[in-house]
Amino acid sequence: MTGRNLIDSAWDGYALLDFGNGRKLERFGHVLLIRPSPQSDQGQLLSDHDWNQADAVFRRGSGWSFNRTIPGIWTVGLAGFRFNIKPVESGSVGLFPEQVENWSWLEQRCRSAGATVSVLNLFAYTGGSSLAAARGGACVCHLDASKGANRWARENAHLNGIAEQKIRWITDDAEKFVEREVRRGHHYDGLVLDPPTFGRAGKGTIWHIQDRLLLLVSKCMSLIRGESCFLLLSCHTPELSTRVLIEMFSDLMTELRGTITGHDLVIHQRDSKRALRCGSCVLWSS
């Protein structure tokens, strides 16, 4: 692959084209982007010439630089869904291909329940997991602290023809919302969490995943009900490997019946046997 042959203007999907030296080269439809990837510690496979075809590059500390004019927003297909793509100040574009396996598991889990299940999706961002659960027949409570992220997620739901009544949209702090739901006596059949490594929860409160995760999950377990309930937690914090997460949850759930499994979040490189590890995931099923 050389030059603009990396691009097929008629194709509107996603592909990881290459990674290495702390970066990844991705194709979002007809747009090529380079973004940081701390776990890309291998050498790149494609030539510098190929990498130089990128339309835009994001660098931590300096933001986006554009080699060509790209749309402010465009649409990309992945795993049977449509997503609006927008390069934002954080370097995100609103799409997380490493979650595809989790979306599939979540949709099938909801679909096979035999009845309408309720799912609470915390730190829900642009809504991939909410779309998967809703497509599986669930009623979803989608929560994110950012109004902008929730608007983005609603755009994605509209793109995919998800009925408005299938998803309840909440802008709130995750931990405070969970505490209120516990006091109200509300319950859910499934919980989905994808917490950030670091964030601000308002009024000077600092969220750090390694300090707050176990406490939050223990509160969340008070919201679980039913014989086939589940929890899906993913994170992108390098220190929290899949093994570490499983050990953490095994200790937390010693009094609960169920099964704990885990796997790495990965994206497979196109035209290569390589896969880029992007995070960790743990699944608990009663």
**d(C-alpha 31, C-alpha 89), whole Å:** 18
Q: For residue 70, what pLDDT is reported? A: 95
Mean pLDDT for all residues in the chain? 91
pLDDT computed for residue 2 by the predictor: 43
Query: What is the percentage of the chain residues whose pLDDT exceeds 90?
Result: 72
Cα separation of 36 and 24, whole Å? 6
Would the pLDDT of 4 be above 60? Answer: no
Question: What does pTM read for this prediction?
Answer: 0.92
Whether residue 202 is predicted with pLDDT greater than 60 in this model: the reply is no
pLDDT of residue 105: 96
Query: What's the mean pLDDT in 48-66?
Result: 96
Question: What share of the chain in percent tops pLDDT 70?
Answer: 93
Q: What mean pLDDT is predicted for residues 126-149?
A: 97
The whole-number pLDDT of residue 3 equals 43
pLDDT at 115 over 70: yes
pLDDT in tens, 214-261: 889 989 989 988 777 899 999 998 888 999 999 888 877 766 678 899
Per-residue pLDDT tens digits for 76-99: 999 999 999 999 999 999 999 999
- What's the pLDDT at 147? 96
pLDDT of 114 strictly over 90: no
Burial, 214: exposed, middle or buried (Cβ in 10 Å; 0-12, 13-18, 19+)? middle
Better pLDDT: 210 or 220: 220
CA count, 13 A, side-chain hemisphere, 10:
0
* Mean pLDDT, rounded, for 54-67: 96
Q: What is the pLDDT of residue 221?
A: 87
Residue 64 is which amino acid? Answer: W
Tell me the domains of the chain and their CATH numbers. 3-85 (2.60.40.1180), 97-285 (3.40.50.150)
- Greater confidence, 124 or 207? 124
Cβ proximity of 126 and 93 under 8 Å: no
Compare 56 and 286 and report the one with higher pLDDT.
56
Give 139-181 pLDDT, tens digit per residue: 999 999 999 999 999 999 999 999 888 999 999 999 999 999 9
